[in-house]
Chain A
């Protein structure tokens, strides 16, 4: 490199090589692109009738009929499908679809945020069901681009959950099962409302996460579920999952602390530790054992939500249920087979 001429000659030669390499790269990409495009047409061989519906996110979805193979990308949807008696049509679920137990035996397509698109496609679904509250928009877009019919459910509030269950039933062609299930759930909610008329709502803190303390915002369906159960969250912020300072909780002194867990007994036993925890021990609710643990079904916009609401109402307002001791009535209706 001491001789400048040699240096530039070399540079020229390298320039040629560089151009050749770039051309090769371009050709490679173009070829890959052409291959992708030729395969892009004609997605499904001769389907039967298509039905075009508007989903709950406002998108138009054409769904092949009848819907025989369903992939669910949310635990709440899996639960709803099983409650609608559509269990045998569910061909794929997520790693988190744990209820009912039979759902865990279905083919898995990955997590909620990061399901495997190819695993979904390989199941050849007629319909993929997602919720706007859990699944990513990117997943929806990707499935759209692959021409996989994808219906997005969007449930706001407990009434919204019931409506969404009814819509879902129609979309998968089980409208009558859906009507029956929704009517049964609605009847139970009406009965609950009747019992709780005149009862002052308890002021509660719903604990989503303990360290750091995370509660629910006013627009979540959890806040709505609390209202139906005769409770009122002491937190009224717009954020969905606000991080709350314990100081604020001590200042507000909620009547009850509400936790959600799949294993209520164990959770309750573990919560004894709060009596010694700084901050928490200053809460009257902790000192006086006003801690309620409800089924984690309260976290899911699915039929069991009504069970959880009833359960919470019973624990907060036992007097209102004095004439109706706990029986099998609280078991899910609509037949989770």
Chain B
């Protein structure tokens, strides 16, 4: 730890990150396939604040408030969820490589989605629901496979996750060959991570509540996670209920991942990279790492999605690919720097 954590430092750090996030959101609102000038944007935002929406041009209103804003919100929710669940898995497994994707959760969700596409084509709500069920089922399976002598064993758990991921990926490939051309292309795009489909209002509420519950639950264990990081036995001697903490983190992190994957497909690197960056910047105290990871993840996905919308506009790129392109080199840099 760089310096002792105080409430003041925590609040200032979060406030600074929120300012960055706000800036990213403003840029994301402005930039896109359809150019919108900063003054127009400011005027429109002003009109919303003063309740004079009727004066706005209808197509800009549609673009900014019905397309970009919900999409930015989705990016924030997905980024925060993936990043916090990544931080949670890393603490739980005391392994810097742990991440929802390594543990097979995303593959489980993708399998759920593809089964829904085949079994109930044309019913839009079934796909995310089934993806979420797939994610939780995978988590449960990996969790039980990862136990040895009644204890969660980090190595076994990680290996079980990797094997589960490759097994599920094989099933996905098998099922994809049976899809029609259109569904196959749509599915491939979804597998690369995609935020371009606006979410139904009801689903958005599910997501908001799920995010707050999941992040909140993990945060209640933050102090215990600090002690677990020094060693499970030591933590136990200091009075930490290690098993309970592990269960809480595992279930909440799985919930967060399932939610994120079910609405956005497989967006990788956020859960791996953002907690590492935050650790690098603010130290490894989980009480500051979890909130900063949440905000940092939101910033990363908002920026990546803005790039995805803009780089080849009007054609959209999968946001997962953008994150991997920038994420992999950045991760290697952080890794080298840490061990140098």
Residues of A at under 8 Å CB distance from B? 1, 4, 7, 10-11, 13-14, 16-18, 21-22, 25-26, 29, 32-33, 35-36, 38-40, 42-45, 95, 108-119, 121-122, 124, 132-139, 141-142, 145-146, 239-241, 243
Q: What is the chain B residue whose CB lies nearest that of A23? A: B212
Contact with A along B219-241 (1 / 0, CB 8 A): 10011001000000000001100
CA separation between A14 and B291, bound complex, in Å? Answer: 11
A-chain residues with CB within 8 Å of residue B122 when the two chains form the complex: 137
A29-B14 CB under 8 A given contacts A117-B67, A137-B122: no
Whole-angstrom CA separation of A36 from B204 in the bound complex: 12
Q: Which residue of A lies closest to B1 (CB)?
A: A1
Contact in complex: B186, A29 (CB < 8 Å): no
In the complex the two chains form, what is the Cα distance from A11 to B220 in whole Å?
9
Is residue B331 within 8 Å, beta carbon to beta carbon, of the partner chain? Answer: no
Tell whether B140 is near chain A: CB-to-CB under 8 Å: no
B67 → A minimal CB distance (Å): 5
Residues of B within 8 A of A35 (CB): 48, 65, 69
A35–B185 CA distance with the chains assembled, in angstroms:
34
Contacting pair A25 B212 (CB below 8 A) = yes
Q: How distant is the Cα of A124 from the Cα of B56 in the complex, in angstroms?
A: 15
Q: Is the CB of A29 within 8 A of B73?
A: yes
Whether the Cβ atoms of B223 and A7 lie closer than 8 Å is yes
Q: Which of B67, B181, B216, B309 contacts A241 (CB 8 A)?
A: B181
**Which A residues are CB-close (under 8 A) to B66?**
36, 39-40, 146
Tell me, in angstroms, the Cα distance from A38 to B7 when the chains sit together.
37
Tell me, in angstroms, the Cα distance from A136 to B33 when the chains sit together: 20
Could you tell me if B180 and A18 are in contact, using CB atoms closer than 8 angstroms?
A: no
Contact A14 B177 (CB under 8 A): no
B residues 77-125 with Cβ under 8 Å of A? Answer: 121-122, 124
CB distance from A169 to the nearest CB of B (A): 24
- Whether the Cβ atoms of A111 and B315 lie closer than 8 Å is yes
Q: How far is the CB of B225 from chain A (nearest CB, A)?
A: 12
A45 and B58 in contact, given A10-B5, A113-B186, A118-B68 (Cβ under 8 angstroms): yes
Least Cβ distance of B181 to chain A in Å?
A: 5
A-facing residues in B15-38 (Cβ within 8 Å): 32-34
Q: Provide the residues of chain A in CB contact with B243, threshold 8 Å.
A: none
Closest to A7 in B: B223
Q: Which residues of B contact A122 (CB under 8 A)?
A: 33-34, 59, 63
- Can you name 17 A-B pairs with beta carbons within 8 Å? A4-B238, A10-B223, A14-B7, A18-B291, A35-B69, A36-B69, A109-B314, A110-B314, A110-B316, A114-B317, A117-B67, A118-B34, A121-B67, A136-B186, A138-B124, A145-B200, A146-B62
Check A117–B180 contact: CB distance below 8 A: no
**Contact status B59-A39, CB under 8 Å:** no
Q: How many A-B residue pairs have CB under 8 A?
A: 148
Residue from the set A36, A45, A114 with the largest chain B CB neighbour count within 10 Å: A114
> How far does the alpha carbon of A243 sit from the alpha carbon of B179 in the complex, in Å?
12
CA distance A11 to B240 in the complex (A): 14
Alpha-carbon distance A108/B33, docked complex (angstroms): 10
Residue of B nearest to A114 (CB): B316
Name A14's contact: one of B10, B53, B56, B315 (CB within 8 Å): B10
Which residues in B have their C-beta under 8 angstroms from that of A38?
A: 48, 51, 53
> How far, in angstroms, from A22 to B167 measured CA to CA in the complex?
38
The reply on B170 being an interface residue by CB < 8 A is no
**B189 on interface, CB distance cutoff 8 Å:** yes
Q: How far is the CA of A110 from the CA of B189 in the complex (A)?
A: 14
CB contact between A17 and one of B11, B62, B68, B317 (< 8 Å): that residue: B11
CA distance A282 to B61 in the complex (A): 63
- Contacts A116-B313, A121-B62, A132-B182 aside, 16 further interface pairs with beta carbons under 8 A come to A10-B5, A11-B223, A14-B287, A18-B219, A22-B215, A32-B69, A35-B48, A40-B66, A111-B316, A113-B185, A122-B63, A124-B59, A134-B182, A135-B182, A137-B122, A146-B62
Q: Separation in Å of the A34 CB from the closest CB of chain B?
A: 9
Q: Judge if B178 is at the interface, Cβ distance under 8 Å.
A: yes
B311 to chain A, nearest CB (A): 12
Indicate if the CB atoms of A95 and B197 lie closer than 8 Å.
no
Interface string of B227-267 (1 = CB under 8 A from A): 00000000000110000000000000000000000000000
Contact residues in B for A117 (Cβ distance below 8 Å): 67, 196, 198
A33 to B65, CA, bound (A): 10
Partner of B315, one of A7, A116, A137, A243: A116
In angstroms, Cα B48 to Cα A300, docked, is: 45
A107 to B28, CA, bound (A): 23
Chain B nearest Cβ from A64, distance in angstroms = 13
Q: Is B208 an interface residue (CB 8 A)?
A: yes
Shortest Cβ gap from B208 to chain A (Å): 5
Decide: A39 and B314 in contact? CB cutoff 8 A: no
In the assembled complex, which residues on chain A have CB atoms less than 8 Å from the CB atom of B70? 36
The 10 residue pairs across chains A and B that have the minimum distance between CB atoms: A116-B314, A119-B314, A116-B33, A110-B314, A122-B34, A119-B33, A138-B197, A136-B186, A39-B65, A110-B315
Residues of A contacting B189 with CB < 8 Å? 113-114
**Nearest-CB distance from A180 to chain B (Å)?**
31
In the complex formed, the residue of A with least CB distance to B45 is A35
What separation, in Å, do the CA atoms of A163 and B223 have in the docked complex? 68
Which residues from B are CB-within-8-Å of A239? 177-178
Chain B residue contacts of A25, Cβ below 8 A: 212
Q: Is the CB of A95 within 8 A of B315?
A: yes
Asked whether B316 lies within 8 Å of A116 as measured between CB atoms, the reply is yes
Q: A113-B189, A114-B196 are in contact. Are A39 and B10 (CB under 8 A)?
A: no
A305 vs B161: C-alpha distance when bound (angstroms): 50
